Amino acid sequence: MGSAKIYYDADADVTVLEGKKIVFLGFGNQGAAQAQNVRDSGIPNDSILVANREDHYAEDAKAKGFHVEHDFEKAAEVADILFVLVPDQVQPRVFNGSFAPKLKADATIVVASGYNVFFKLLEFKPTQNVVMVAPRMIGSSVRSLYQKGRGFPCFVSVEQDGTGKGLAIALALSRAIGATKAGAIASSVYEETAMDLFAEQGLWPNIIMLFREAFSVLKEAGCSDEALCYEMWMSKEPAEIFERAAEDGFVLQLKHHSSVSQYGQLNGAAKLDGSAARAHFKDILHNQVLNGKFCKEFAKIEDALEKDDESNPLNKLYKDADESEMGQAEKRVRARLTELL
């Protein structure tokens, strides 16, 4: 594919939002940050409505001066633009149940993640616009970077252009939330979902496995739990390496290391045969992520993830991780640290 188009403030005209009612479904991490940024960008408060059940999120929105509607169907009826900012797993139920039947035929639906659109779990009318404005930042940073007058990385795309104005609206919204200041990258729900799920199901499981096995081999060789936990992550050295990678370059950050380390890492990586990992990654990407297999499997367990008992598969996975050699060692080291405090 090569290089992507990047949109800046100058590419976006916020006047296309004039007279439009912007509804934020959800006032959590992203909802609270984006709604405040949009208002601070000059969209009148009366043009913004927060749709939320009657609870502390709603209270927070009211305390921040927003109009709040608890009745989702009423919120849907007035929305020209709807930001869908509730957790991905609840979106199909809430959107299809309460919003889709009442939304205007020319409404613009905005998602902050590709998942539900890519897997066609949300029901849209062909006349509606469906756009993605997906910050690559947690909500608190979306807000704080905006307040500091800085932008943040964000993906933007038009997935369905029912009115012909999808891109203009998506860019205006990207600018209003503060994303085009640093440059919003043209993307798609396909790209966002592929990268997101691949990182979660391909890359990071391998990193967890590599740490687990490395820990075990070094422990077998006589290293203590304390030394290992600190060496491998508790010193925050890996976090610093990734920070340097973002600033200086993925490989060029190595120049901050000793020559022994630089040579060991570069020479070691060059000698590794990546073909088995590559085949494994391709399998995860094509036969688990993109073909919808994971999406189907996840749909069967998502209700159980809300439960706080043994039927929740996450509880069992956490228990197994806790009982592993590395989990037990870390627990002991942390308990000793607490004693020392």
Which one, 31 or 178, has the nearer CB to ligand NDP? 31
Residues that bind ligand NDP (CB under 6 A): 26-31, 52-53, 55, 57, 85-88, 90, 94, 112-113, 134-135, 138-139
- Cα atoms in the Cβ-side hemisphere of radius 13 Å centred on 156: 28
Which one, 139 or 166, has the nearer CB to ligand NDP? 139
CB of 260 to ligand NDP, least distance (A): 39
- Nearest-angstrom CA–CA distance, 116 and 142: 22
Which one, 33 or 172, has the nearer CB to ligand NDP? 33
Which one, 87 or 313, has the nearer CB to ligand NDP? 87
Which one, 53 or 280, has the nearer CB to ligand NDP? 53
Burial of 234 (0-12, 13-18, 19+ CB in 10 A): middle
Which one, 55 or 283, has the nearer CB to ligand NDP? 55
Provide the 8-state DSSP code for 23: E
Burial of 298 (0-12, 13-18, 19+ CB in 10 A): middle
State whether the Cα torsion 134-44-100-106 is positive or negative.
Answer: negative
CB of 79 to ligand NDP, least distance (A): 15
CB of 29 to ligand NDP, least distance (A): 3
Give the count of beta carbons closer than 10 Å to the beta carbon of residue 194.
17
CB of 54 to ligand NDP, least distance (A): 8
User: With contact defined as beta carbons under 8 Å apart, do 20 and 12 qualify?
Assistant: no
Q: Read off the tokens for 210.
A: 């590599």
CB of 286 to ligand NDP, least distance (A): 23
Choose among 115, 194, 189: nearest CA to 158. 189
CB of 22 to ligand NDP, least distance (A): 16
Choose among 180, 83, 191: nearest CA to 130. 83
CB of 44 to ligand NDP, least distance (A): 22
Which one, 7 or 57, has the nearer CB to ligand NDP? 57
- Nearest-angstrom CA–CA distance, 11 and 167: 10
Which one, 76 or 86, has the nearer CB to ligand NDP? 86
CB of 291 to ligand NDP, least distance (A): 21
Q: Can you spell out the DSSP letters for 132-144?
A: EEEESS-HHHHHH
Which one, 70 or 256, has the nearer CB to ligand NDP? 70
Closest residue to ligand NDP: CB criterion: 28
CB of 94 to ligand NDP, least distance (A): 5
User: With contact defined as beta carbons under 8 Å apart, do 159 and 130 qualify?
Assistant: yes
Residue 69, classed as helix, strand or coil, is strand
Q: Read off the tokens for 9.
A: 């403030």
User: With contact defined as beta carbons under 8 Å apart, do 250 and 243 qualify?
Assistant: no
Q: Which residue has the tokens 């849209």?
A: 124
Q: Read off the tokens for 218.
A: 């070094």
